[in-house]
């Protein structure tokens, strides 16, 4: 198994030379404005922590897993010690509000640190990662008292957070939940019910866990309109805000999972546990989506992170593994065979991984920056435009980066051949770990419906058409230097808009048409956006090459852009054709396919 290195040069290219984070940050109100030097210092230290502390625990955590003993969950060896270093390094408080002990730095800067950690050790990073959703929900919907008590503990990292949404009979349909919340005379609630698939639901890393639980009041209306959100701490805080007596919530079992073995995925039983309402009664869905949208960007980055780690191993292996001779003659004449890196199809798989990862990194960073602008932008109009953009991009980041991320890690296994199927090489872990990212925090189908329904058709396509116009403007700008790219961008701009109009008309006639087209529409959108960013990266690399013509990194950017535009972007056309074919072959006309003989 090869080592892991954070791709700092690629991060710097995006942060400083493509998006210019430092200048963007200067426009923000009510936020710390880090200099270029501070940005790089933070990222360099985060890289050291990820490479030296977290990555060495990745394989051992997978092999050892978590264990449940007398109601206590014990994480793999080294996880708790790594978490203490995380706290000591101040990483938990990076983007938090200073009022509650945070450092007040931009969320987009924190996302880069999250990417490093999740790439180094996906399972470990889920323990602090779940806290970000809880922090977002409490910041947006909690009372002043709740913020004062819980945010300071979560931002210090001494307490962690969870999202307790899923129940055995309901799955993604949270409107069917049965967990009950009965009011008490002191203003608290007695929470009773069972939640499953709760990541980091019980562990020994932190002194307390803050569960955010969806439940129903006795008089709640049915469906999602009757869902409320509650804080249910593992230990009830005492008068000084320190962990007090154990609450009536316990882990009934650990799920026996395909991957992410180092993270405790729990079945939690709430047996009259004391809880406190967040926000207004029956308004829990709004708070839930605050948590979910924070988590969805992070899950997309998990898909990309698994792909990055697997790609690094596959590339190192392809350079070293000797097998067969090049079709154009020996490239390693002094050896018994050539490195498999010289074979065209191995290069195809490696370039697919590289083009996906680096294009997705640009998309994720842009989305995170839009999230910052939406909250801290200089004017109301700027904030509103950015919010519409990040809302539109969130399901694409979550859905496309995880779907294509799984393809990418499978390419890495294929580069290894039979050795990729063997656990000792380590690359197969990324397939198992990555697979969950397509499911939790909303499956790809849910992301597709969100993108097409809420974010496009209900918006009458305004935000999408803004992105389509960006593609057209870039095509105009690069016409003289990249005429082929300009033609492709113009075609994407027209097709994206036309698909929106086509689906709007079809969905009015039959809403199932939207469901039949949603995932293809999401995937088309993902490929279109990666084309947009790859053309920008190629142009910027060309400008910088005029100053340093021998820069291999920049030359590699242009070569990878050419591969993406010629060999990967055509997959968007397959998704377009599937959409235009309509939903008939999935709907009533397909009923016979599921009939028994």
Query: CA dihedral in degrees (140, 146, 152, 153; nearest 10)?
Result: -120
Instruction: Give the list of residues 6+ apart from residue 183 with CB closer than 8 angstroms, or none.
Output: 189, 217, 218
Single out the catalytic residue among 441, 513, 543, 595.
441
1 pLDDT above the threshold of 60: no
Question: What pLDDT is recorded for position 529?
Answer: 98
Radius of gyration of the chain (CA): 24
Least trusted range by pLDDT, from 37-46, 177-186, 286-295: 286-295
Average pLDDT over residues 121-128: 98
Q: How confident is the model at residue 597, as a pLDDT?
A: 65
Phi, psi of 55, rounded to the nearest 5 degrees? -60, -40
Tens digit of each residue's pLDDT (9 = 90 or more) over 252-308: 999 999 999 999 999 999 999 999 999 999 999 888 888 888 899 999 999 999 999
Task: Report the distance separating Cα 303 and Cα 434, nearest Å.
Answer: 6
Are residues 251 and 266 in contact, defined by beta-carbon separation less than 8 angstroms? yes
Q: Tell me the sheet residues that pair with 190.
A: 182, 274
- CB distance 307 to 353 below 8 Å: yes
Distance, in Å, from the CA atom of 341 to the CA atom of 348, rounded to the nearest integer, reads 10
Position 589 confidence tier, pLDDT thresholds 50, 70, 90: confident
For residue 313, the Cα-to-chain-centroid distance in whole angstroms is: 21
Give the tokens for residue 519.
């995932």
Average pLDDT over residues 175-190: 96
Phi, psi of 198 (to 5 degrees): -90, 105
Q: What pLDDT score does 312 carry?
A: 98
Confidence of residue 469 (pLDDT cuts 50, 70, 90): very high
Confidence of residue 2 (pLDDT cuts 50, 70, 90): low
Contacts of residue 170, defined as CB under 8 A and 6 or more positions apart, other chains included, come to 176, 177, 178
Residue written as tokens 């079809």? 506
Task: Tell me what pLDDT residue 173 has.
Answer: 86
CA–CA dist 410, 485 (Å, integer): 29
Per the CB < 8 A criterion, the answer to whether 253 and 216 are in contact is no
Q: Average model confidence (pLDDT) for the chain?
A: 96
Q: CB atoms < 10 A from the CB of 242, how many?
A: 12
User: Considering only CA atoms, which of 225, 215, 219, 226 is closest in space to residue 272?
Assistant: 215
- Is the pLDDT at 591 greater than 90, yes or no? no
Q: 101: how many CB neighbours lie within 10 A of its CB?
A: 16
State residue 593's pLDDT score: 86
Name, in order, each residue with C-beta under 8 angstroms of 555's C-beta and a sequence gap of 6 or more: 541, 545
320 catalytic residue (yes or no): no
Contact between 274 and 247 under an 8 Å Cβ cutoff? The reply is yes
Please state, in angstroms and rounded to a whole number, the distance separating the CA atoms of residues 386 and 557.
28
Helix, strand counts (H, E) of the chain: 19, 11
Task: Provide the pLDDT confidence category of residue 19 given band limits of 50, 70 and 90.
Answer: very high
Q: What are the domain boundaries of the chain?
A: 446-586
* SS3 (DSSP) at 464: helix
Listed residue (176, 184, 174) closest to 286, CA to CA: 174
Instruction: Summarize pLDDT for 536-573 with one digit per residue, the tens.
Output: 999 999 999 999 999 999 999 999 999 999 999 999 99
Give Dmax (Cα) for the chain.
Answer: 84
Lowest mean pLDDT among 103-117, 213-227, 278-292: 278-292
Which residues, listed in sequence order, are joined to residue 482 by a DSSP beta bridge? none
């Amino acid at each position: 198994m090869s080592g892991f290195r954070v791709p700092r040069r690629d991060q710097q290219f995006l942060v400083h030379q493509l998006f210019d984070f430092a200048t963007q940050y200067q426009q923000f109100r009510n936020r710390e404005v880090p200099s270029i030097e501070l940005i790089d210092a933070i990222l360099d230290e985060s890289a050291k922590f990820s490479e030296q502390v977290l990555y060495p625990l990745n394989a051992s955590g997978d092999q050892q897993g978590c264990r449940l003993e007398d109601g206590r969950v014990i994480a793999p060896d080294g996880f708790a010690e790594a978490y203490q270093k995380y706290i000591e390094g101040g990483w938990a408080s990076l983007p938090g509000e200073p009022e509650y002990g945070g450092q007040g730095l931009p969320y987009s800067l924190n996302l880069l640190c999250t990417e490093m950690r999740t790439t180094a050790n996906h399972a470990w990073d889920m323990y602090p990662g779940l806290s970000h959703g809880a922090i977002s929900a409490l910041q947006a919907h909690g009372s002043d008292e709740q913020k004062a008590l819980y945010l300071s503990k979560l931002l210090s990292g001494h307490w962690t957070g969870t999202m307790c949404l899923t129940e055995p009979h309901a799955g993604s349909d949270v409107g069917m939940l049965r967990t009950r919340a009965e009011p008490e005379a002191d203003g608290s609630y007695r929470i009773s019910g069972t939640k499953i698939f709760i990541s980091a639901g019980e562990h020994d890393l932190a002194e307390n866990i803050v569960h955010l639980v969806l439940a129903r009041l006795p008089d709640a209306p049915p469906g999602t309109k009757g869902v409320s959100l509650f804080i249910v701490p593992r230990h009830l805080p005492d008068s000084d805000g320190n962990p007090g007596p154990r609450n009536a919530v316990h882990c009934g079992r650990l799920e026996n999972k395909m991957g992410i073995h180092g993270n405790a995925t729990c079945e939690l039983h709430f047996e009259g546990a004391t809880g406190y309402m967040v926000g207004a009664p029956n308004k829990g869905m709004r708070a839930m989506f605050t948590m979910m949208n924070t988590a969805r960007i992070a899950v997309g980055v998990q898909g990309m992170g698994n792909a990055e780690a697997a790609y690094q191993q596959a590339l190192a292996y392809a350079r070293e593994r000797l097998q067969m001779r090049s079709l154009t003659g020996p490239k390693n004449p002094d050896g018994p065979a050539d490195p498999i890196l010289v074979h065209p199809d191995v290069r195809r798989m490696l370039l697919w991984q590289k083009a996906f990862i680096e294009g997705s990194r640009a998309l994720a960073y842009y989305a995170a920056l839009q999230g910052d602008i939406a909250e801290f932008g200089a004017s109301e109009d700027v904030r509103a435009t950015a919010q519409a953009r990040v809302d539109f991009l969130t399901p694409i980041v979550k859905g496309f980066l995880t779907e294509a991320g799984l393809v990418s890690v499978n390419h890495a296994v294929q580069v290894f051949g039979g050795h990729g199927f063997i656990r000792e090489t380590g690359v197969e872990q990324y397939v198992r770990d990555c697979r969950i990212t397509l499911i939790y925090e909303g499956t790809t189908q849910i992301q597709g419906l969100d993108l097409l329904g809420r974010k496009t058709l209900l918006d009458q396509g305004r935000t999408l058409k803004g992105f389509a116009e960006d593609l057209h403007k870039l095509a105009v700008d690069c016409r003289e230097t990249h005429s082929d790219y300009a033609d492709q961008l113009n075609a994407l701009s027209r097709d994206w808009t036309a698909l929106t109009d086509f689906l709007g008309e079809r969905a009015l006639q039959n809403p199932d048409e939207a469901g039949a087209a949603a995932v293809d529409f999401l995937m088309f959108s993902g490929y279109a956006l990666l084309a947009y960013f790859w053309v920008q990266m190629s142009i910027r690399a060309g400008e910088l090459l005029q100053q340093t013509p021998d820069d291999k990194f920049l030359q590699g950017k242009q070569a990878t852009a050419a591969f993406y535009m010629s060999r990967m972007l055509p997959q968007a056309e397959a998704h377009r054709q599937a959409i235009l074919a309509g939903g008939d072959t999935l709907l009533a006309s397909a009923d016979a396919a599921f009939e028994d003989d």
